[in-house]
Structure formats: structure tokens, C-alpha cells
Amino acid sequence: MREPRHQLRPLARVQGYVAGILATLSLLSLVFYYANAFLPIGRITSMAWTVIVAIVLLRRLRSRRSLAGSP
């Protein structure tokens, strides 16, 4: 069964906001402390967000193709 479009967008949007906030904090924290945990955490969440959005878009493309009847 196909998931409604409105359920997929907020998840990717929230994950994007979290990744963006952590990445911004990592840059701002360099002023106070050169090596901290925000640097790898911000990068990892940004990479995870990219993978999640790619999976969501791939699933959406496949569901549209299956509904259209093309292989």
C-alpha cells in the first residue's frame, strides 16, 4: 500500500533541520573549543539526512512507476 505524500515530507524536513542545526553548531563551536563532539555529529547527521532523502525519493519513484503500470 502506498504511503500518503504528506507523511514522507515532514520526516525528511525535520531530519534536515536537525542536521542543519548540528552542522551550524559545529561551525560556531570552533570559536570556543577547537575539537569537540559537534563536528562529527553534524557531519554524520547530514550524511544520514542525504541517505534518507535519497531512499524516500527512490521509493516514491518506484511507487509511481508501479501505479502507472510500466516496468
Q: Contact 2/63 with Cβ under 8 angstroms?
A: yes
**Helix/strand/coil for 23:** helix
Identify the pLDDT of residue 6. Answer: 54
Give dist(CA 57, CA 51) in Å, integer. 10
2-50 pLDDT tens trace: 555 555 567 778 878 888 888 787 777 777 776 666 677 778 888 888 8
